[in-house]
């Protein structure tokens, strides 16, 4: 293949198309498709089924009924009340897989066993016989001697008057009945089972564990589970041949027999997240070792329509039919659930009532007549929330409600069978456009055609989702079109324009313009090289004089001296060249910048002296010093081209790192700065630029008014609690965004959160700085900073992810709420040991009156086991905002 083919536009278009096809199933492409899907869901406007009602185990219920888990007689009480009205069906999302045994019940059972196995029951019978003998003894007395009669009369008189004959038998009977009654009252499983039986409309949930079935199941499932299998199906043979089979489970936890035997049905309740962790689908049928079990949503929808399991037909590879409802799914029988947007006032799309309000009579049970009632937890700390297209923290019972409504109203999304052919056709069409048509078009026409195609595909995606409930994956063709257009037009421009510039490169005017361009970009050495190729005249000396002033601003006095000498050789009397030359030589001997020997990280760029230019860092003028840090100073700067005020953080890398690791650290510094610079969020400080001046690395960033939160960590200067919750919630929002970009902060603490009270604005600073400094040592050999906010895995030197930031955020919430750090010690080693091994104190023990929800959020954020911690910052933010509402309502009641 000759060189011309390699450089041709059509070959480049072919390579771009094949590359996109090769990576069509990558996580990046999937995430783009999922984001477009979520947008379509949020843009759709449908009303949910009015047959669904949720009774929530919420914070109000826990506050009134006690901490979770509750005694099951409370669940029984709710069912007994619902029995008073004619509900359609009741779905229970709480897993009852273990018997509930009160310690008192165990003691009562032990007493009953002792009573039944002892001689006590025979005492009552013996006492009755003794009483009969006493009544019949008068005839026998006359046959005895006088002395024997007197002794026997005394014995009879004593027995007749004693409690042994008169009351002990009754007392033993009362004792037995009391034990039996206590056992009945404490056996909450029996009470709950009775209410399930009497209600007759309760469907229990059962967890299945999704995964490959590598062997045989360990034991057969009980009859009360297997009776819920689906037996009617079509297309099984074709599904086996094509591989279009339901999800398989390798293990399950069955609800206890006592509760299940009288339940109306049992359905599987699982969540199958997509690659980004979001829940978008409902697995309607699960294969458990050859038996097919329906989901809880599917059973509830069927029972809500007065249908039985026999009315459900499984259509393998296509969907499920319930009565006259035809539910279209993907090949694995997963339904693309429609999620209904919240109401305008922010309330859930579904009717949600508090468990406590129902059992206390505040809400009449008559409102649940003919309803599908779902019972589940929504309280903070009870179960895990789920990420869905419309909400980052949705409770499982709400997710279930959306699935049931999607079935009943036929609102689920459908992927048409021809969708894959449409996608392939579009990719082929765009590939042909990029290979054969685009290279022949003029730039303006190519832009119009590409824009038209792009807008048409995006509008098609939007209309199909919002109007037809069809989901066709069009983001791959859109990305192919946009990327191909951008790369091909850029290649075309570079190959044509660069050649034109190259032909005039050595001309005087070209050198003048290039020199000015390099000077404007801060590349002064390149500018000096170009200016020296221009014939020296007055205008050229003006250029060189200004270049020397720029060298002075950058504290490169030796190079300024070289430029002044070059000018002086042509005209020694030009302007104040002699005074400038003498001053720069003197400064060259006394001022050493950046990481050179003798410099200090604590030094300053702002030097006093008549005639000296304002110092420069890159293209920024340094106005004044704002403060000092462990590895450098922070300056107030200005970009003279656009008059933008910036804050410039400097780091003397050459002083903090050995020569053999300095280049690696520099490369890491600029990678981290580039990564942080891509972050664009209202609560993250914007990074504008990064550069290096004589081993003095710097980052130019957004200048923020206000101060950090360190001043508000003292007990006498704490912020109001609602403001603290708002600050932490917004910080969690910013971290969620950063973590989605695969950026971990690693140094979340009050000193890195800038806050202005007047405008209530908040910004997180120093993204990526911790990764640069974590290998640096101070002169005493200690790791820079304090580990007070570090997670256990970070202290252990393990690889960290976003969950480490959430631990640090939990520590910060603890300190801002109480005025104390959770872990304190006299030595660094002791402090690190406590963080890694000891539980943190209860925040409410330090600050009385803290809301319970604050403690719950801190406990979960600071869990030492990373799997028990918040998995996403959005989940923590959601809980914080719920906590704020609870705190506000509590304050209003007072």
Catalytically active residues are 747
DSSP code for 273:
-
The whole-angstrom distance between residue 834's C-alpha and the CA centroid of its chain comes to: 27
Angle, in degrees to the nearest 10, between helices 538-553 and 557-570: 160
Q: Which helix (H) or strand (E) holds 635?
A: strand 633-639
Instruction: Give residues with Cβ within 8 angstroms of 25, minimum separation 6.
Output: none
SS3 242: helix
d(CA 288, CA 849): 50
CA distance 853 to 883: 6
Question: Which residue in 551, 672, 697 sits closest to 612, CA to CA?
Answer: 551
Q: How many CB atoms lie within 10 A of CB 838?
A: 12
Count CA atoms closer than 13 A to 472's CA, side-chain side.
24
Q: Tell me the β-bridge partners of 650.
A: 698
Note whether 358 and 83 are within 8 A (CB): no
Q: Which residues pair with 377 in a beta bridge?
A: 57
Write out the two tokens for 162. 């004693």
Cα–Cα distance measured from residue 34 to residue 38, given in angstroms and rounded to the nearest whole number: 6
* CB neighbour burial string for 512-546, b if at least 16 within 10 angstroms, e if fewer: bebbbebbeebebeebbebbeebeeeeebbebbbe
Could you tell me if residue 59 is left (phi over 0), alpha (psi between -120 and 50 degrees) or otherwise beta?
A: alpha
**How many whole angstroms separate alpha carbon 203 and alpha carbon 49?**
19
Region of 522 on the Ramachandran plot (φ > 0 left; ψ -120 to 50 alpha; else beta): left
Q: Is the dihedral of CA 492, 498, 499, 504 positive or negative?
A: positive
Torsion 286-292-293-299 (CA) sign: positive
**Rounded Cα gap, residues 646 and 15, in angstroms:** 42
How far is the CA of 44 from the CAs of 340, 478, 828, in angstroms? Answer: 8, 21, 55
Q: Chain centroid to CA 402: how far?
A: 21
Specify whether the CB–CB gap between 522 and 691 falls below 8 A. yes
Angle at alpha carbon of residue 521, lines to 519 and 522, rounded to 5°: 65
Judging by beta carbons within 10 Å of its beta carbon (0-12, 13-18, 19+), is residue 402 exposed, middle or buried? buried
Which segments of 606-740 does DSSP mark as H helices, in order?
653-656, 659-677, 721-740
> What is the distance between the alpha carbons of residues 381 and 59, in angstroms, rounded to a whole number?
9
The three-class DSSP label of residue 749 is coil
Distance (Å, rounded) from C-alpha 61 to C-alpha 886? Answer: 12
What is the rounded CA–CA span in Å between residue 190 and residue 109?
14
Contact criterion met (CB below 8 Å) for 652 and 632: yes
């Amino acid at each position: 293949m000759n060189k011309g083919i390699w450089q041709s536009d059509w070959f480049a278009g072919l390579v771009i198309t094949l590359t996109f096809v090769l990576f069509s199933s990558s996580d990046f492409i999937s995430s783009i498709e999922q984001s477009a899907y979520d947008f379509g869901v949020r843009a759709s406007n449908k009303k949910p089924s009015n047959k669904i009602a949720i009774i929530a185990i919420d914070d109000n219920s826990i506050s009134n009924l006690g901490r979770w888990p509750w005694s099951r007689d409370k669940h029984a009480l709710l069912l007994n009340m619902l029995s008073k009205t004619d509900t359609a069906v009741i779905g229970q999302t709480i897993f009852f897989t273990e018997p509930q045994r009160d310690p008192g019940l165990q003691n009562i059972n032990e007493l009953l066993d002792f009573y039944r196995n002892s001689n006590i029951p025979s005492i009552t019978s013996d006492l009755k016989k003794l009483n009969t003998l006493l009544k019949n003894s008068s005839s026998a007395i006359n046959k005895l001697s006088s002395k024997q009669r007197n002794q026997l009369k005394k014995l009879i008189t004593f027995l007749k008057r004693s409690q042994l004959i008169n009351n002990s038998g009754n007392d033993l009977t009362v004792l037995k009945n009391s034990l039996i009654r206590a056992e009945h009252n404490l056996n909450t499983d029996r009470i709950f089972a009775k209410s399930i039986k009497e209600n007759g409309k309760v469907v229990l949930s059962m967890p299945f564990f999704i995964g490959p079935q590598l062997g045989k199941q360990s034991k057969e499932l009980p009859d009360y589970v297997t009776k819920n299998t689906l037996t009617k199906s079509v297309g099984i043979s074709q599904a086996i041949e094509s591989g279009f089979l339901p999800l398989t489970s390798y293990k399950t936890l069955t609800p206890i027999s006592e509760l299940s035997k009288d339940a109306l049905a049992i359905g599987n309740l699982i969540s199958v997240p997509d690659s980004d962790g979001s829940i978008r689908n409902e697995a309607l049928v699960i294969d458990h070792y050859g038996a097919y079990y329906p989901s809880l949503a599917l059973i509830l929808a069927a029972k809500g329509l007065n249908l039985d399991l026999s009315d459900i037909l499984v259509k393998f590879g296509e969907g499920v039919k319930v009565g006259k409802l035809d539910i279209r799914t993907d090949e694995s029988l997963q339904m693309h659930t429609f999620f209904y947007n919240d109401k305008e006032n922010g309330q859930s799309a579904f009717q949600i009532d508090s468990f406590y309000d129902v059992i206390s009579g505040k809400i009449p049970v008559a409102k649940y007549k003919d309803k599908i009632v779902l019972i589940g937890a929504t309280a903070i700390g009870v179960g895990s929330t789920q990420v869905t297209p419309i909400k980052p923290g949705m409770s499982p019972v709400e997710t279930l409600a959306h699935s049931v409504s999607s079935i009943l109203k036929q609102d689920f999304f459908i992927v048409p069978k021809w969708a894959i052919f449409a996608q392939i056709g579009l990719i082929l069409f765009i590939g042909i456009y990029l290979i054969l048509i685009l290279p022949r078009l003029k730039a303006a026409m190519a832009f119009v055609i590409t824009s038209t195609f792009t807008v048409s595909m995006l509008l098609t995606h939007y209309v199909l989702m919002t109007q037809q409930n069809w989901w066709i994956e069009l983001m791959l063709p859109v990305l192919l079109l946009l990327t191909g257009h951008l790369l091909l037009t850029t290649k075309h421009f570079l190959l044509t324009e660069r050649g034109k510039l190259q032909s005039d490169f050595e001309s005087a005017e070209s050198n003048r313009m290039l020199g000015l361009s390099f000077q404007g970009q801060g590349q002064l050495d390149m500018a000096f090289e170009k200016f020296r190729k221009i014939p020296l005249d007055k205008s050229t000396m003006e250029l060189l004089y200004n270049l020397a002033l720029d060298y002075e601003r950058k504290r490169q006095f030796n190079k300024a001296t070289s430029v002044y000498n070059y000018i002086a050789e042509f005209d020694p009397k030009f302007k104040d060249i002699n005074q400038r030359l003498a001053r720069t030589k003197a400064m060259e001997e006394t001022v050493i910048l950046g990481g050179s020997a003798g410099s200090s990280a604590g030094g300053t760029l702002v030097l006093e002296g008549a005639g000296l230019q304002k110092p420069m860092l890159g293209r920024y003028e340094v106005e004044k010093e704002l403060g000092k840090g462990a590895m450098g100073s922070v300056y107030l700067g200005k970009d003279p081209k656009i008059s933008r005020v910036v804050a410039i953080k400097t780091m003397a890398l050459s002083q903090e790192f050995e020569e053999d690791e300095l280049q690696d650290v520099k490369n890491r510094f600029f990678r981290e700065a580039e990564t942080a610079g891509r972050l664009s969020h209202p609560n993250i400080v914007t990074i504008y630029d990064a550069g290096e001046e004589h081993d003095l690395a710097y980052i130019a960033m957004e200048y923020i008014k206000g101060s950090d939160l360190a001043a508000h960590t003292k007990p006498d200067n704490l912020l109001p609690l609602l403001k603290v919750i708002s600050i932490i919630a917004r910080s969690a929002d910013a971290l969620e965004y950063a973590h989605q970009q695969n950026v971990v902060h690693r140094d979340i603490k009050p000193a890195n959160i800038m806050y202005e009270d007047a405008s209530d604005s908040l910004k997180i600073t120093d993204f990526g700085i911790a990764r640069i400094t974590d290998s640096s040592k101070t002169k005493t050999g200690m790791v820079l900073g304090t580990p007070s906010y570090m997670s256990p895995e970070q202290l252990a030197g393990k690889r960290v992810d976003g969950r480490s930031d959430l631990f640090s955020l939990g520590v910060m919430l603890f300190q801002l709420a109480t005025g104390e750090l959770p872990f304190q010690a006299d030595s660094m080693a002791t402090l690190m040991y406590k963080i890694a091994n000891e539980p943190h104190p209860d925040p409410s023990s330090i600050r009385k009156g803290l809301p319970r929800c604050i403690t719950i959020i801190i406990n979960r954020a600071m869990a030492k086991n990373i799997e028990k911690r918040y998995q996403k910052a959005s989940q923590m933010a959601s809980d914080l905002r719920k906590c704020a509402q609870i705190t506000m309502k509590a304050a209003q009641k007072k």
